[in-house]
Amino acid sequence: PRGKILVSACFLGHPVRYDGQAKTLDRPLLQEWNALGYLTLACPELAGGLPVPRQAAEIVGGQGLEVLNGTAEVFNRAGYNVSSYFLEGAHKTLQMALHHGVIAAFLKQRSPSCGTREAYDGTFSGQVITGIGVTAALLQQKGIPAFGEDQWDKLLSFVT
Ligand code: SF4
């Protein structure tokens, strides 16, 4: 790649998801880039202070952009408002991205932090809608394009 890429840590085998699992991707090129030092791994929810495992969370009343401007909120399955953790995680991840000079992000689809174009609808019923997570929205807002695992080809054409 022509620069560094911020990547969801769960893609590279780190067991940081809400359920204590990883979401390892079988992408040899990604492993190679990681070995060569091109990747900056981040888990925004951990960076925001949440533990592993943790309750699943969904955005209610909007999407990532609305959480950033205070018109939507993130709730966990237990009904607790966790917006502040998601905002903290998004800002810390942005700082990390800027510090490492990343040119793009490759993030886990449907996560309320990392999702780039798909999200759950806020009812914890498994319904998928078009939407973006809090961290992905902040990165995009600051000019760092974010791609999901279903947009690998687009990431490739952008970074190579
Ligand atoms: Fe993976 Fe992002 Fe969820 Fe962390 S916040 S577990 S990096 S999808």
Answer whether 43 contacts ligand 1 (Cβ < 6 A): yes
Condensed to tens digits (0 to 9), the pLDDT of residues 68-113 reads 999 999 999 999 999 999 999 999 999 999 999 999 999 999 999 9
Q: Which atom of ligand 1 is nearest to the CA of 8?
A: 7
Which ipTM score applies to this complex?
0.99
Give per-residue pLDDT as tens, 120-151. Answer: 999 999 999 999 999 999 999 999 999 999 99
How does pLDDT run across 40-51, given as a tens digit for each residue?
Answer: 999 999 999 999
Q: Tell me, using a 6 A CB cutoff, whether residue 139 lines ligand 1.
A: no
Q: Cα(96)–Cα(112) distance, rounded to whole angstroms?
A: 19
CA-to-CA separations, 90 to 31, 71, 75, in angstroms, rounded: 24, 16, 16
Is the whole-model pTM more than 0.90?
yes
